[in-house]
Structures are given as C-alpha cells and as structure tokens.
A and B are shown apart, each in its own frame.
Chain A
Amino acid sequence: MPSSLIQNESVLAIEVGAAVTRVVLFDVVEGQYRFVASGQAPSTAEAPFKDIGIGVREAIVNLQGVTNTKILAPDNNLVSPAQPDGSGVDAVVATISAGPSVKTVIVGLLNDVSLQSARRLAESTYSRVVESLDLTDHRKPEQQLDGIVRSRPDLVILTGGTDGGASRSILKMLEAVGLACYLMPMEKRPMVLYAGNRKLAGDVQELLGGHAGKLEISYNVRPSLETEDLGPASRELAGLVTKLRQRQIKGVDELNMWTGGNVLPTSYAQGRMIRFLSRLYESTRGLLSVNVGASATSVAAGFKGELALGTYPQFGLGESLGTLLQYTELDDIMRWMTLDISPNVVREYLFQKSLYPGAIPATKDEQAISQAVARQALYLAVQTLKKDFPGTQTELMPSLDLIIAGGGVISEGVSLGQSLLLLLDAIQPVGIMPILIDQNNLLPLLGAAAERNHYLPVQVVDSGAFIGLGTVISVNAAANYGDQVLRAKMTYADGTDVRADVKFGGLEILPLPSGQSASLSLQPLNRADAGLGAGRSGTVPVTGGALGVVIDARGRPLQLPSDPVRRRELIKKWYYTVGG
C-alpha cells in the first residue's frame, strides 16, 4: 500500500476491563500498521485502588518492558506525540468495560414494538433493566413514578411512537420520568436517552432537560412500525455510558482526555468492528464475535453490514457469578464438567469467585469448573442474542462465515484445543467456517481505533493478529451415536490427501497448518448436513490453523448423555481429540 494511504501515527490502545487492564501498541512497520506488543495489569477501578489510572499505568510500564520504548514520562504522564528519540505515542484510543452494571429503566409504548427496541438498545451495553413502562402497564401514574424512583436508575431509555405518530401517551410517560428525576437528589439523577417520535424532541427537552442528569435526544429507534434502527441511538447510548463511568470511576476523565474524548464502552467498540468487518469482507452469511469477560459476556453478529449486539453483565464471569443461578440451573453447568466434582462445590465456587472476580483457577478442579461455567455463560448469551438474528426460525444457529472469540477464559486458556471445544459447545455453530482467537483482545480496540484511523483496523486484521484455530465443519444428522455420517477427503496443495470416515457423536481433526489451504471433499451419508445442505456432497476450499480442519459430528443441538460418568468420559474423549 502506498505510504500516502497511511496516517503514519503510533497508536496506544487501552482496554480497562473489570479484572484486567490491557494496553496495546500499534505502529507502522514496513508501510503497514501492525500489532507491536501488549502489556497488562490487574484493573484498579475497584477498591482499594478506586482509580483506573493506576492499573493503566502499570500495564503501560509492562508494555514498556516489552518494547523498550518510553511511553510514560518520569512524572508518570503520557508522552504524546511521539518524540524524535522514539519515545511516546501519537494517539490514544480506549475502551472500558469496568464498572457496575448500568441500572436502566426502559420506557416504550407498545410492549412488543418500541419497548422491545428499548430493551435491545439497553442490551447493547452493560445494562441491567430494573424497571419498564409501557401502555400495558396499568399501575397508577404515582406507582409508576415510585417504581422508577425506587429502582434508582443510572439511565432511562425512552422510546415510543413512529416519527410523526402517537404523542399523547408518550407525553404522559415523559411526565412520569420527569417527575421521578425531579424527586431524586441532583447528584443521583439518571441520564436519559430519548429515541422516540422525533416530533416530540422539543417537548422532551422542555420536560426533561432541567431534571435529567444528562439528556440526549437521538433518532427514533422505530421510525416506522416495520423498521427498527438502533444504530444512531446506540452511538448516543455509548456516549452516555462513558459519561456515567466518568461520574462513577476515578481516572476515566483522564483517560477520556488522553483519547480526545473518545473512550467507548468495550462491547460497543466490539460491535462496531464486527459491523465494519461484515461490510469490508462483504460477508454473505454472517460474522460472529464473542467475548467472555469478568464484567459481561458480549456477543456481536454482523449480517450484511447490519449489527446485532448483546452485552450481558448477568453472564459475566466476575461479580455477577453470584446471581448466575437465577438464569440457569446448576445441572446445566454440571453437564459440561469433565471431572467428578460435587454440585455443591460448583455452587460455592460461583459465590466465592463473585467475591474475587480477578482471581484465576490454580488447580485442575477449579479450571474444570471455570471452563464449565464459561461454557454455560456463553451458551446463555448466544442463545439470548440469537433471537434477534435475522431469519432465525429454528433452534439452530444460522450459518456463519467466521467466528472471532476473545476474553480471558478463551484467549488465556490452557490450550487452544480447550478454547476451541468451549466455543463449539457453547455456540454450537452450523455449517463451515473458520474460527479465530483474539488472543490480545484486539477486536474492541480496533473498533475504537477505526474512528480516528480507517487503515489501522484493516491492516492489523490482514496482518494475522488473530490466531486461526482452523476451519470447522459442523455435521448435523438424524443418526445414532457411532453411525457413519460423513466421508471426507482433504487434498493438500502438493496433491497428497488425507481421508476420514466420520461417525456421529465424534470430533475428527484433519491436519492443515496455519497459512496453508486445501480442498476438502465432503460426502455426507444418511442425509446428514455437512454445511452444504442435507445429503448434499461437494468440495470446498479450507484454510488451516493451529488445530487444522475440525469436523464436529456431534450434531445440533448438541445432545449430551444423561449419565454423568458416560458424559464425562465422552467429553474427555473430545478434549483428547482436540489436543487436551
């Protein structure tokens, strides 16, 4: 690429998570942006530190140790722009997922229209919906008011009415929200996002402007009954969440200053990057990104440039583990266990881990529990967002072009095989697709960088910053365990080949190193579907990866034996197949 197309600036990207703060240096190497190095440190948003700046600086010091360049001056301030002696950076971008979940009140007119849009909007960030109001709410106005006040919200999302449509009912709800804001102490008043009938923008300003902690008026999320457009409102919402974090957590102000006012919520940046990649690579099916973190599990899916984004603090692996059993049964976690550990031990693990979100498994038993919990959390998050995927009528996942996975439990796992199995179990993808691991959790940081530098994300992604696990072929069939469901033959570039007779209920790995391509011939038996349609044979190009080509013939949805001993043996066998 000609150098004129490169802004030629070094970029320090910072991600402040609930448990870990990561800093990443991007710079131009041989005319292309590259991921240079990363450093990390425990996050310090929480007590006793209560200042994210401490963790950010410690992570930068660790990065300096890797790159041998000075980014912090002796007075601990950032050196920016980069200096002739090589010290400093030209720009900073940052995302944040640390912080308590955002207590959110959603308001809409119709329960299944605007309120659903408000809910989806709330779920695009680190929200916990604590109260909702719509036309089917038959409480008295003062009861609605008390409901809002008692829930002590950080944020109110107001929707309702198509553009130019209903206004009277919305005005009544606005009054309730305005009064509730007025009744709260000034410093605790919620931020309000209005994304309803545009005609009422003036009324909203008049009714709420003086009472809300901060008011943003966005485009209508439901400009018409048939159309939902969350894009502009989710951008405004991201801004409000950052402002809220500035109010809640020391050090966010300084980080915001470093970035020129562009700190983004991490999951928003993740979603932005997935939408960008979906457009860039003209994905015909869909791209999926998952991030299993301490603060939340987030899932972003891009379908032809459109984004579905779900951020679920309730499925995070940190503080919220203490309430995970409100969303799932203990048995549903136990089904993923590889070791014979009592359900009571797993239950106590959840509560103890919620006390120390940053702690990591030190023993094999705890690692087994941690993996089982992460599987179930990711499974729940994917199942929740899947309802919003376009054209998803079955319980199966839609066919995807690519999966990118990040988050400590995946990117810093014991082995890549374990990480792959976790993803296959929790996502249960259908069809043929490569799976990448975002080992340095770059995806959201690239999403944040995209705003200031369009070339950086593209070039970093193209440079192979993610680890390719390989190509996965999921085989679905109405068969019994052990029945043969597929004959596969992979022909390498040098003309040699490898064959496999794949049985239902198993995993098969065909070796294909990273950077290599091959031709894979698939011949399903008994009307099995190997991604080409039920019973359809064909040949597809495949790319290699750390694990090669993985044929997952365990069926969809994945059925596990009810007998725990047999189940554990089977899971261990799968672990063994993917390398332990």
Chain B
Amino acid sequence: MLAPVLHVLPLTTIVRERTLPVAGKVNAHLNQRVNPTDVIAEANFAREHVLLDVARTFGVSANAADKLMKVKEGDRLTQGGLVAEMSGMLSRSIKAPRPGRVMVAGGGQVLMEVGDTRIELKAGMPGTVIQVMNERGVVIRTAGALIQGTWGNGRIDNGLMVSLIDKPDAVLDADRLDINLRGSVVLGGHVRDVETLRAAAELPVRGLIISSLLSALLQTAVQMRYPILVLDGFGAMPMNSAAYNLLTSNNKREVTVNAEHFDRYNGNRPEVIIPLPISTEPDEPNAYEAFAVGQKVRMRRSPHAGMIGALANLPSGMSLLPSGLRASAAEVKLENGTTVLVPLVNLEVVG
C-alpha cells in the first residue's frame, strides 16, 4: 500500500511555488537570489465594483447611452472623472464616485472597479528563483531542514527561532513569553489558552511553532497577525520526536514559518524551513512511498497520535484492531520499546 510522507528532514532540497491570487507583476527574475522578505511579485486587486447605469440615468436607450460615454475599457479615472455626458439645454453628466478603473463600458452601463488593494507577495524563504510564471509568481529552490506540520493560520514570516520547549509534552504558557522574545520565532509545546496567543501578539513574535492547540482556540489563532504553525494536531498532543529533535537542535537559527492552510488538493501545507549552507545539492524528498519494514513512521490517530516508531512488520491480510474493526495494519515498534498494531491508513512515513 502507498504511504504519504511527512517531511521532517535535516537537509533536503526544497522547491516551492509562490503565486499571486490574481494576475499581477512579477519583480523577480530567473536565477535571482531572494530573501524571505523580498517582494517577488505584486498586484492591485479591486475588492469592490461600481455600476453606473448611463442609459437609465439619462433616460435613453442602451445604444444611445453608449454614444454618450466618455470612457472605454481599461481607462483609469480619478474621483469625479467624467464618465458620460449628455449635452442639451441643460447638459447632464455622470462622474466617477470613486477613483478606479473601467472594466466594462457598453450596453448602456459602465462598470468600474474601485477600492484598489495592493498585494505584495514575499518570497517567504531564501533561495534561488528557478522559474518565473508570467504575471503569477515564481518557483524558488533552496536547501535546508524541512519540518512539515498539520495546521497553519495562513500567515508567513521568518526570524530567529528561540526554543521554549524542554520536552515534547511541554505546555507553552503566556508567562514564558517575555520581552526578550520580541521579533523571534518561538518554538513551544502545547497551547491551551487564549492568553498565550495574545501574549505572543503583544510582544509581538514573528511566529509560533507549537506541538498542538486546543480546537477551541482556532478562531483566535486565525485572527493572530503572526504565523502559528501546529505540528501534530488538536487537543493536548506532545510534539513528535522527529520534529522535536530537529527543531531543538536548530535553536537560534534563522527559520521561515510558512503557516499556510493545509490544502489537501494542491498539497500546500504548513512547514518550517531552516536554510542551511550546502556543498552539494541534496535530493528532493519523495512525496509518497510504498510501506516497507524499517521505515520511520508517525501515528496520526489515538492512542499513539503523534508518536514516532519503526515499522517492524506488515502482516498480510486484515488485522483485528482493538476497536473491533478489521483493516490492513502494521506492527510498529515505538521509541519506548513497545510494539503496537496500527492500521496503515493511520500511518505516514517520516522522511
């Protein structure tokens, strides 16, 4: 059976696509070295539209109204700019209520996009641009450590990582977050109260990497303006040992926290990237493999959720689980030496 792979790697090649949500201008060029905060592309995005009904305002047919229009598609107008004019004894005009751009002019109506919002797309990670996608974005390649998580609040930032976790099942409380952590990416354990998230915002930190989060805090976590990356899931879960060992051994290094939402269809998922110098470029990791004895695996569900073990045996056929269900399963030797039976669909390979 095929196995999804969770990447927790000390050194690998990381290739990521960074794209604008709408068409815009790409600033970066091929082979350019970029830093996480570099704006690699930008776009103007109008959130609102204004429909000016010229025909109705002037009381004429659509065809007649079209002839009275003084604008065409693509024209940029300032507030009060002339849109249409009807001359006569008492000449009348229609003016732009807000600055904006004409999207459609015809059929007796003018549609303007207004309320421009500027979108700046940052590189989000250091690396080299290996592909430029016209008007959309770029593909960046870098080398370093890669640690994938399970949930992110949609934000991205980078900074010096400071570890506040001394054991995988540690709890991160607000009183651990002092002023010395301002501008840092904080590595913590389980977060169980809203005060901790707010204290991190008040410093502010540039990111929070945690083992688990109470689901009741999700709404607050989404509102935070700094990235929050949950490594193992919801509830009181310890940090998986693979991530714990790798992250704590990289304490005080510059890291990128890309806490983007887990999109199960395009494969984007929250991740921590720790850029590292290399002499030769390492291989890109596999996205999936076939289950095989000896693989390091992580358990996705209770009773050993988040724990890491070694795949010791793959019995053929279906196995009876403690739940009473029958499923293809594997015997997994946990790090504490015990061996447990785990359904294959509850496992992912770590690598």
Contacts and interface: CB of A to CB of B under 8 A. Distances in A.
B218 interface: yes
A366 B301 contact: yes
Interface in A395-425: 412-415
A347 B215 contact: yes
Contacts of B324: 364, 367, 414-415
A138 interface: no
B234 A358 contact: no
A286 interface: no
A351 B323 contact: no
Interface stretch (A118-126, A177-185, A493-501): A177-185
Nearest to B340: A362
B4 A48 contact: yes
A185 B287 contact: no
B88 interface: no
Interface in A331-362: 344-345, 347-348, 350-353, 355-356, 358-362
A146 interface: yes
Residue among A185, A362, A413 having the largest count of chain B Cβ atoms under 10 Å: A362
B111 A363 contact: no
Nearest to B215: A351
A47 B301 contact: no
A361 B345 CA distance: 10
Contact of A355 (B1, B233, B321): B233
Contact of B51 (A142, A149, A366): A142
A46 B264 contact: yes
B235 A146 contact: no
Contacts of A355: 150-151, 233-234, 262, 300
Contacts, number: 142
A169 to B, nearest CB: 15
Interface in B287-310: 287-288, 300-303, 305
Contacts of A179: 51, 104, 111
B222 interface: no
State which size class the interface on A falls in. Answer: 35 or more
B111 A364 contact: no
Contact of A363 (B215, B262, B302): B302
Interface stretch (B42-50, B198-206, B239-247, B251-259): B42-50
B346 A362 contact: yes
A253 B262 CA distance: 25
A352 B302 CA distance: 10
A145 interface: yes
Contacts of A350: 215
Contacts of A248: 265
Nearest to B326: A412
A44 interface: yes
A48 B5 contact: yes
B23 interface: yes
B255 to A, nearest CB: 23
A135 B5 CA distance: 51
A168 interface: no
Nearest to B235: A348
Contact of A146 (B22, B48, B234): B48
A362 B343 contact: yes
B51 A361 contact: no
Contacts of A347: 215-216
Contact of B49 (A45, A145, A363): A145
A473 B217 CA distance: 46
A432 to B, nearest CB: 30
B1 A58 contact: yes
Nearest to A318: B264
Contacts of B50: 142
B325 interface: yes
Contacts of A345: 235
A529 interface: no
14 contacts: A42-B2, A42-B345, A47-B265, A142-B49, A145-B49, A145-B51, A249-B265, A319-B264, A356-B346, A360-B343, A362-B302, A363-B323, A364-B323, A366-B301
Interface of B: 1-2, 4-5, 22-23, 47-51, 103-104, 111, 113, 150-151, 214-216, 218, 233-235, 262-269, 287-288, 300-303, 305, 321-327, 342-343, 345-346
Interface of A: 19, 41-42, 44-50, 54, 58, 99-100, 140-142, 145-146, 149-150, 179, 182-183, 185, 248-249, 319, 322, 344-345, 347-348, 350-353, 355-356, 358-367, 412-415
